[in-house]
């Protein structure tokens, strides 16, 4: 799953790897299937000075996944995400990995996404549906309009569909944030803080 929030690579493609000290393992077809180029559009929401939910940022991106390999008990691709925020602002690139933690017999197990050195495990809820919970970083909450000292939790949901024959990844993130307003009153809000999609390109 990708926070569509970013990230990716420079790695040598390896058709086989090792699970720990075991025998060589072929890259699973589930990982090969992740390789490709995706384009997307995203909107992030936060609050205004009254604590009302408002649109904060919007951007488009190109997400490229390559280099499927098996290494250190994982089967994954590396990716690069280039985000464009609008006229006059330079593109931003982020990097990461995603794929599966392999079971003892070399089969795909838990799905993971690694960004900025942090690994998030995605929980599969059903066919083509995943979710993950992560703490909200203070720096991000500040960008979303929350004051210093705010704390929060994100829950992300990703659903993969076929839309007019095109593989599409739709992602929404619900955030619950607690903060103290300028009058010293504790406030809590739960809202959709991120929404967008990726579509596979031919």
Please provide the DSSP assignment of 154-171 as one string: EEEEEEEEEETTEEEEEE
Band of residue 23 on the pLDDT scale cut at 50, 70, 90 = very low
Q: Tell me which DSSP letter residue 128 carries.
A: T
Block residue for tokens 């994100």: 154
Identify the sign of the CA torsion 46, 48, 51, 53: negative
DSSP state of 85: -
pTM: 0.83
b or e along 3-31 (b: 16 or more beta carbons within 10 Å of the residue's beta carbon)? Answer: bbbbbbbeeeeeeebebeeeeebebbeeb
Q: Topology of 16-200 in CATH?
A: Lipocalin (2.40.128)
User: Distances in Å between the alpha carbon of 89 and those of 8, 85, 92, 142?
Assistant: 21, 6, 9, 20
Segments making up each domain of the chain, as ranges = 16-200
Digit-coded pLDDT (tens) for 44-54: 999 999 999 99
**pLDDT tens digits, 130-189:** 999 999 999 999 999 999 999 999 999 999 999 999 999 999 999 999 999 999 999 999
The candidate with the shortest Cα–Cα distance to 81, out of 108, 30, 115, is 115
What digits encode the pLDDT tens for the residues 24-81?
568 999 999 999 999 999 999 999 999 999 999 999 999 999 999 999 999 999 999 9
Q: What integer pLDDT is reported at residue 190 of this predicted model?
A: 98
């Amino acid at each position: 799953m990708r926070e569509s929030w970013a990230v990716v690579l420079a790695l040598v493609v390896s058709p086989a790897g090792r699970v720990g000290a075991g025998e060589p393992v072929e890259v699973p077809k589930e990982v090969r299937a992740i390789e490709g180029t995706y384009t997307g559009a995203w909107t992030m929401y936060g609050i205004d000075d009254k604590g009302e939910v408002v649109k904060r940022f919007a951007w488009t991106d190109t997400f490229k996944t390559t280099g499927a390999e098996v290494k250190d008990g994982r089967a994954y691709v590396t990716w690069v995400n280039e985000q464009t925020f609008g006229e006059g602002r330079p593109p931003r690139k982020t990097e990461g990995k995603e794929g599966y933690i392999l079971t003892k017999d070399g089969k795909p197990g838990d799905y993971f996404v690694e960004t900025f050195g942090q690994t998030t495990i995605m929980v599969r809820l059903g066919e083509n549906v995943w979710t993950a919970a992560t703490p909200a970083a203070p720096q991000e909450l500040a960008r979303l309009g929350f004051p210093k000292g705010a704390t929060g939790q994100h829950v992300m949901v990703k659903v993969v569909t076929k839309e007019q024959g095109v593989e599409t990844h739709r992602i929404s993130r619900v955030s619950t944030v607690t903060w103290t307003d300028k009058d010293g009153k504790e406030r809590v809000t739960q809202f959709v803080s991120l929404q967008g999609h990726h579509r596979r390109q031919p």
